[in-house]
Amino acid sequence: MSARSPRLAAWVLLPCAALFLGGCASLKPTPLTPAEIAQASAADRAQLQKDVAPLQGPLSLDEAIARAIKYNLNRRVQIMAEAVAQGQLDVSQFDMLPKLVAQAGYRDRDKDLITRSTDSVTGLPSLANPYISSERKVTTTDLSFTWSLLDFGQSYYASRQNADRVLLAGEQRRKALHNLMQDVRTAFWRTAGAQKLRETVHNAISEGEDALTDARKASGERVRGPLEPLRYQRQLLENLRLLEAIEQELSTAQIELASLTNLPLGQAIKVVEPSETAGQELRGLSIEQMEDQAMARNADLRTALYNSRIARLETRRAMLKLFPGISFSYSVNGSNDNYLVNRSWSEAAAQISFNLLGLLSAPAQMRLADAGVTLADQQRMATQMALLTQVHVARLQFNNAVHQFERADAIWKVDQDIAGQVAMREQAQTQTKLDRISNNTAAILSQLRRYQALAQMQAAAGKLQATLGMEPALPDGHQLSLGELTKLVAASLTPTENVAHADTQP
């Protein structure tokens, strides 16, 4: 290659580089087109329903919880977050290995590397002619092995922290599972109430509309004084307003349940009501059993313990910076430069470095480390106290919810008997149609409140179970079928069994 070749290449490459950098600087934001948005939405909806088993027949509570565990989108996000934490752990473990770097390079000069020398005694230029010390075209190779003791220590503690973060992500997944089961229980019982009351409410509204039409017709004929028909219409309208409010209250329950279980939102869901006493077995547990169970299994407390351990490891990483850095290296080198006497050689080195000014910050680093440990301990103790408080509060709330349900059930039975008596008296013409509609509306409202109290009782049971750390024991790394998962959920809803096996669960 002639001496002008590198210069010519430079004149060609510089304008190309300028054009490339100018093009990068002129990039403009490109908004999504409606077609791209529609295509992405269609693909997402298809992905949402991929591998989701269709609903076959009525939906039980066990299957609803199992479907939520298997198909709920937020739960999938938690599982992916745990997988990412595991991936970070796997990657960080490689940071503890020594560095083995292979390099190769090529150099091409347009002029020879010519050097002069100076006499070390006289300081005058050497009488020898300038000499060439390297070829114009040189290829070099390098395989180096480097290990730093300080980097190893930092990577070791970072890997231990990432290992704790994997466990931390698992506890966050467990907490999300507890909340999901609680939400499914509440939505399921609201759907059950809507299913039970929908036809009754619809018939009552139709009957009330007919009675209101008749009342307006009678008011127009002026058979009676104007005040009594208006009061009659006012009472009918008030009953209709209550019935329509009940209908509105029940309208969203099925959509919420479908969203939690990843079923089509427009699909009609028929639910099978389980025993209304499910979850009341918790009342048989003593407060001491509940405290022990919560201390062993509660996700929030475990999260605090892992955070405390991560904080302690972080102080150790900070303390490592006060120690000197020791590194070792060994490399195998090669070059095709004919001017070198030895064109292949090996090189070994050891180096120690120490930041002397870092000693000035050592007392502050020690105080910071002690403060971090103290803070972690205080946070852990505060979490324990908050957990014990939460156990007692959740137990009281559950007992109160059970009592409220029993009271709502008793009121509903009385209103139902009153409605039956008024209906018979209307047939005997001793009660008016307005009385029957009013009492029927009161009975429907009592039944709605009964289902609301039942849903609140189940939600309180779910909250207590979440506080105690109860969830289905799912095998790690095993993809369960929907039927197998439903059986595990059914077994997990027996609180005494969960408490008995608390020590065997991870």
DSSP annotation of 59: B
Nearest to 335 by CA among 137, 180, 78: 137
Residue 20 has pLDDT above 80, yes or no: no
Q: pLDDT tens across 356-373, in order?
A: 777 777 778 778 777 877
Residue 501 has pLDDT above 50, yes or no: no
C-alpha distance from residue 358 to each of 317, 320, 322, 450 (Å): 15, 11, 6, 69
Label residues 45-61 b or e (16+ Cβ within 10 Å = b): eeeeeeeeeebeeebbb
H or E segment to which residue 4 belongs:
helix 4-25
In the block, tokens 């269709």 appear at: 54
Tokens matching residue 408: 């709502």
Percentage of the chain lying above the pLDDT 70 cut = 83
**So where are the chain's domains?**
55-504
Does the domain made of 55-504 have the CATH classification 1.20.1600.10? yes
Taking phi first (over 0 means left), then psi (-120 to 50 degrees means alpha), and beta for anything else, what does residue 123 get?
A: left
Residue 22 is predicted with a pLDDT of 58
Mean pLDDT of the chain: 79
Residue 225 is predicted with a pLDDT of 54
Residue 495 has pLDDT above 60, yes or no: no
pTM (2 d.p.):
0.71
pLDDT range class, residue 324, cuts 50, 70, 90: confident
H or E segment to which residue 8 belongs:
helix 4-25
In the block, tokens 């004149």 appear at: 11
Percentage of the chain lying above the pLDDT 90 cut = 5
In the block, tokens 């000197």 appear at: 324
Tell me the range of 95-109, 177-191, 381-395 where mean pLDDT is highest. Answer: 381-395
Contact (Cβ atoms closer than 8 angstroms) between residue 495 and residue 474: no
In the block, tokens 């989701």 appear at: 52
Contact (Cβ atoms closer than 8 angstroms) between residue 74 and residue 121: no
What distance in Å separates the CA atoms of residue 147 and residue 129, rounded to the nearest whole number?
Answer: 44
Residue 191 or residue 123, greater confidence: 191
Residue 68 is predicted with a pLDDT of 87
Q: pLDDT tens across 414-430, in order?
A: 888 888 887 787 676 66
Nearest to 415 by CA among 209, 430, 207, 407: 407
Residue 300 or residue 432, greater confidence: 300
Mean pLDDT, residues 176-183 taken together: 84
